[in-house]
Copies of this chain bind each other. A is one copy, B any other.
């Protein structure tokens, strides 16, 4: 017990707000690559319009990463409604998670510039999947070290771990399509994250109303 001292409420609050700040900065920096290229020649409706149209792939990459990081934040928010205590091990795992979050603007820029090249898709998938997996790792650690609300059923804890894997599972599975179809079809397949998330959520709720423990 004394080997793993549990920090009081103030420590948990700081962990959470520090994480919020890193998420907020990473999510906002994603938009920094959405910029109009220099216009060659006269700036008119036609040339500026063409310049704006040329940033469409970057706006797509921005929207995609914003949605995924938004989901990651939502998962973090949901987890720390239930994680009641934090110890230094959880803080360290959370810092590693944030290290991946802060890196996301890099694969996002890669996808925005070279999204039609398969290797960009692979790098994007690997970094975002690692982020998602780290989220689940923190949850499992918190469970093993009894940092979670003890009233939560075993069942809900296991589902909490699964829910965070929607992004890695869908994205890693999509890599199997990469040799077969165009990169834009692979990227479109990631929209399956939203129904998968929603399916898991609905599944959690249905079971929560009819718990197997009862």
Contacts and interface: CB of A to CB of B under 8 A. Distances in A.
B123 A11 contact: no
Given A74-B88, A95-B74, A28 B31 contact: no
Interface string A40-79: 0001110011001000000000110011001001100110
B25 A21 contact: yes
A198 to B, nearest CB: 11
B74 A105 contact: no
A73 B18 contact: yes
Contact of A20 (B21, B34, B48): B21
A98 B25 CA distance: 12
A155 B26 CA distance: 39
Interface stretch (A109-117, A128-136, A169-177): A109-117
A117 B42 CA distance: 11
B102 A28 contact: yes
B18 A120 contact: no
A204 to B, nearest CB: 10
B52 A70 contact: no
A200 interface: no
A34 B92 contact: no
Contacts of A98: 27, 70
How many identical subunits does the complex contain? 4
Given A10-B80, A21-B21, A22-B28, 16 more contacts: A3-B205, A14-B17, A14-B20, A14-B77, A18-B20, A18-B77, A22-B27, A28-B102, A30-B102, A31-B105, A32-B105, A34-B103, A35-B106, A48-B120, A73-B95, A74-B95
Interface of A: 2-3, 7-8, 10-11, 14-18, 20-32, 34-36, 39, 43-45, 48-49, 52, 62-63, 66-67, 70, 73-74, 77-78, 80-81, 88, 91-92, 95, 98-99, 102-103, 105-106, 109-110, 113-114, 116-120, 123, 205, 208-209
* List of 6 A-B pairs having minimum Cβ-Cβ separation, nearest first: A21-B24, A70-B95, A25-B28, A28-B102, A34-B106, A18-B20
